[in-house]
Structures are given as C-alpha cells and as structure tokens.
Amino acid sequence: MILSLLRIAFCLSLLPTGIQAQERKNVTPNVLFILVDDLGYHDLGYTGSRFYETPHIDKLANEGMVFTQAYAASPICSPSRAAILTGKYPARINLTDYIPGNRHYGPHPDQKLASHPFKLFLDPKETTMAEAFKSNGYTTFFAGKWHLGEKKMHYPENHGFDINKGGNHTGHPAGGYFSPYNNPQLPDGPEGEYLTDRLTDETITFITQKREQPFFAFLSYYTVHLPLQGKPEKVEKYRDKRDDMQYEGEEYEQQDETYIKNHQNNPPYAAMVERLDENIGRLMQALSQTGLDQNTLVIFTSDNGGMATSNLAKQIPTSNAPLRTGKGYLYEGGIRVPLIFRWPEKIEPGSSSAYPATGTDFYPTILDMTGLKTLPEQHQDGISLKPLLLGEKLDNRPLFWYYPHYSGGLGGRPSAAIREGNYKLIYFFESNRSELYNMESDREEDTDLSEKFPKKRNRLNKKLQNWMEEIAVQLPYPNPSYQPEK
C-alpha cells in the first residue's frame, strides 16, 4: 500500500498545475466513468441512508447533477453492463442474464417456465463506447469487474480498451477483497492489500500520467458485491453503530421461500460502502490536485439495485426500503440506481433531475457532452441527456425492461416492464398478468392499479408486447421438467 501511495505521489508531482492546468481547460475533455457493483439507490447518505456513511459521494452529488429516477437497463449485472457499453437494451443484443446464468443446470423442476439460450459474451460486432472514444483519439482504460465473456477474446482489451486492470470473466473477486486476488489480469499486491484501494490506485496512476491525448477511464469496482469483506476496523465501527441504532418493524419479511431485508444494519457491508466512499474521495482529490477536474466529466452509478432478498436471510447485505425488493426484480428496488454527473462550469452544482434515465443513455450522452459525433445506429436504445445536464428540458419517452429468467436464490420471476410518464407496468410471464403502479405517488409499489385503471393497463401492456415483438425476443416457454406441488 505504501508503494502504491508513493507511486501515485510521484505521478502527481509530474503533472502540470497552475497556469499550465488552466491552459488545458479548452482542450478535448476527459471522461471518468465510475460503476459500482450492486450498490442500491438508498445505500448513500444523499439518498437517505442513516447507517452507511458516504461524505465524499455526497460531496460529489452536491457538486453536480443527481438523477432521482435513474434506472439500470437490467436488474442483473452482465446485461446492465452490456447496455451501458453498447447503448442497446439487453433484449436487443440477446444478453439478458448474468454470464453464464443457470442454463448449465437446466430449468429447475419447480420453475414453471424455461428460457432460451442467450449470448455468453458481448458481441464483437458491437461498437462499444470505449471503441467510439478510441477512434476519436482517446486513450482508454478499464479497471475492475468486466463479466461480459468467459474467454479472453471477449475481455476489455478486445472491446476498445487500451489498458485492462482486473477485468475478466468473473462476476465477483475470485480471491476475495484482500490480496492475493487470484486474478490473472491484476497482479497481487502486498498481502492484505484491499482490492477497492488497488483499483483506485491503478486508476489514479492512469489518469494522472502526462499524455497528449484525452482519456476515457472506466472504473468498474467489484465492491459492493459479495463476499462481504470489509476492513476489520471499519466492521467493528459499524457493529457499534448498529447497536446504537433504533429500527422500526421486523428486520425481515418472508414471501414463500424468499426473505426480504427491511433494515440497513450489516456491518461488513457498511464497511465496504465506506471504503468505496473514501476511494471516491481519493479519485476526486487526484483530479483536483492536477487541475484535471475542470476538464473531466465524472459519472457515478451502479449496475443494478442492491441485493435485498435471498432464500438465506443472513446472506442479504442491504435493504432498498422503501423501494420494493432488490436485485433480480423489476420492482424499483431491483432497477433504480444512484446517478451523478459532475463537470465544473458545465453542470450546475447542486442540481437534480427527476427525468427517468436508463443505462442505454450513457453512450450518446457522454459522446454529446464531450463534443463527439453520436452513433445513433449503435446506441439506438438511448438518448442524450445533455439538454437536462445543461439546464434545459427533454421530452419523455418510454423505458423498457426484459428479464425472462428466474433470479436464482433472489426469488425474482420471469417478467418484462414498461415505464411511461408516471406509470410503470410489470408483466409476469408465469401468470400472464400485469401490475400497474403510479411512480409519482407510490414509489414503494404498494398499490396495484391494474384493476382500477384497466384502459391504462391494457394500453401499456399492448405497448410492451409490441416492443418485445419489434425486438424479436425469445419468450419463455413451458418447462418440460416442471413438477408442480400437489
């Protein structure tokens, strides 16, 4: 860790400051995209958490624009990440579940439906966001979780990234969060080095190097995904804090075999969130000390909602309450995510937007914000959020989700959804029924309005079915191994 700090300090000492940094303000802007794994919408101080402490992320939010109704394109990691990089819905590219999914085991006898095979890699025919920036003269960098292909030919370096630090087929840190990491794409650090720190070190080293080209850096933290491993002193801090907290209601509720967590009170998870926050502070400090912050667009978000359900109660790390359920579901807890855009003198500090944005919007937005030509044939399911970021208005459009799988021990069922205006409809394939919610008055999704407003339900359902037909999705089909309980 000491060697890493010395290395970063040396890089910082070589960089232009003062007048030289001021001269760089008018050159092509840099981009730092920060993606956290499984971070729930309410896992941050600025979004309402009383248990987790995130002063640096809260500061970042106050320095830019926050989106209060931002969504992941999928309730599961791999398809959500593919949507960010391609600007296309997971259904359009037939990458609809985490890789490799449960297909190796076949449909379980208690599952009424089965799903068709999906792609186990990000198709090389897609022009990724990294490739778009690289073709415009950017130096591109990736660090952390990739999880978009099981073979090396599908790793980040074959999708437009010049540098890859730690990205491969794994969806969680193979060796845990403390070195040795058991990651062929990331050499081990000193024994006990913390993975979240290391990925930040690598990113700071990259973004603070002297270079002629602008950079596009994609920092994809493995945290806060399982396993739950925080630094011991922080875990102890949150054990004490939990003991002093007052909670209302039961810690868990149960639906069938699935437990749903209602309280944020897990000390190891809180420790992981705090260390993530401290590393965001380190990143922003590095940008500030080098003068790069004035000409760098920073984006912070998560790949899906927090993991708040499981068939093993003690394994659940967080709660998304008052949002319903979590990762693996198309309820708000599974797809609503934090989202921050920061760019001094471009984006109004302390601003916010309630516009429903989604993962496919990043590609056209970042190109547009940096003055590059957009690629509408590629990012065809996203729109540029630039008008909103500059204080203007943007017309509403519908958002769609398609998740035809069972989310394993999380308890989610095959479903699809549409949000248009204030209303959101979720269609469940098993029962051929829909639920309708008003997102403006009922973000908790407590009151199903499908019977009260049948015309709206039917109209949105028709629109959703038409979209699935247009995308040519492979619908779930009856499971030949299904054995219903007698």
Where residue 18 falls among pLDDT bands split at 50, 70, 90? Answer: very low
The SS3 call for residue 436 is strand
- For residue 19, pLDDT beyond 70: no
Cα atoms in the Cβ-side hemisphere of radius 13 Å centred on 231:
14
- Condensed to tens digits (0 to 9), the pLDDT of residues 197-244 reads 999 999 999 999 999 999 999 999 999 999 999 999 999 999 999 999
DSSP letters for 233-258: HHHHHHHHHHHH----S-SEEEETTE
How far is residue 452's CA from residue 455's CA, in Å, rounded to a whole number? 9
Q: What is the pLDDT of residue 103?
A: 65
Average pLDDT of the segment spanning 415-440: 98
Confidence grade of residue 10 (pLDDT, cut at 50, 70, 90)? very low
Q: What is the pLDDT of residue 149?
A: 97
Q: What's the pLDDT tens digit per position in 447-481? A: 999 999 999 999 999 999 999 999 999 999 999 99
- Positive or negative CA dihedral for 282, 283, 285, 289? positive
DSSP 8-class letter at 382: -
Sequence spans of domains, the chain: 2-10+27-393
Question: Quick one: average pLDDT of 280-306?
Answer: 98
Answer whether residue 14 shows pLDDT above 70. Answer: no
Confidence band of 105 (pLDDT split at 50, 70, 90): low
Could you tell me what percent of the chain has a pLDDT over 70? 94
pLDDT at 104 over 70: no
Contact yes or no for 403/475 (Cβ under 8 A): no
Selection from 399, 387, 207 nearest residue 289 by Cα: 207
What is the token pair recorded at 312? 């093993």
CA atoms of 195 and 37, how far apart (whole Å): 13
pLDDT number for residue 20: 40
Assigned token pair, 424: 């959101």
> What's at 206, amino acid-wise?
F
Find how far residue 424's CA is from the centre of its chain: 21
Q: What is the pLDDT of residues 362-371, one digit of tens each?
A: 999 999 999 9
Residues ≥6 apart with Cβ < 8 Å to 153: 124
**H or E element at residue 425:** strand 423-428
Angle at 132 between CA 131 and CA 137, to 5 degrees: 90
| Spacing of C-alpha 6 from chain mean position | 31
**C-alpha span between 49 and 53 (Å, rounded):** 8
**Is the pLDDT at 25 greater than 50, yes or no?**
no
When the pLDDT of each residue in the chain is averaged and rounded to a whole number, the result is 94
The Cα-based distances of 133 to 130, 159, 213, 474 in angstroms read 5, 11, 11, 33
CA distance 285 to 291: 10
pLDDT tens for 113-143 read 999 999 999 999 999 999 999 999 999 999 9
Taking the C-alpha atoms of residue 216 and residue 277, their distance in angstroms, rounded to an integer, is: 21
Closest CA to 38 of 147, 138, 119: 147
Q: What is the pLDDT of residue 186?
A: 98
Non-local (6+) Cβ contacts of 210 within 8 A are 14, 15, 16
Between 5 and 46, the more confident residue is: 46
Report residue 400's pLDDT band, with 50, 70 and 90 as the boundaries. Answer: very high
pLDDT at position 102 is: 79
CA angle 454, 115, 419 (to 5 degrees): 35
348 pLDDT exceeds 70?
Answer: yes
* CATH label, 2-10+27-393, candidates 3.50.50.60, 2.170.130.10, 3.40.720.10, 1.10.3720.10: 3.40.720.10
List the structure tokens of 292.
């790069």
Nearest CA to 285 among 3, 1, 74, 5? 5
Residue 27: pLDDT over 90: no
Question: Which tokens is 30 given?
Answer: 């840099």
| Residue 137 tokens, joined | 């003269």
Task: Please report, for residues 17, 41, 46, 242, the alpha-carbon distance to residue 49 in angstroms, rounded to integers and kept in the order given.
Answer: 37, 9, 7, 13
pLDDT classification of 24: cutoffs 50, 70, 90: very low
Give the pLDDT confidence score for residue 486 in this predicted structure: 59
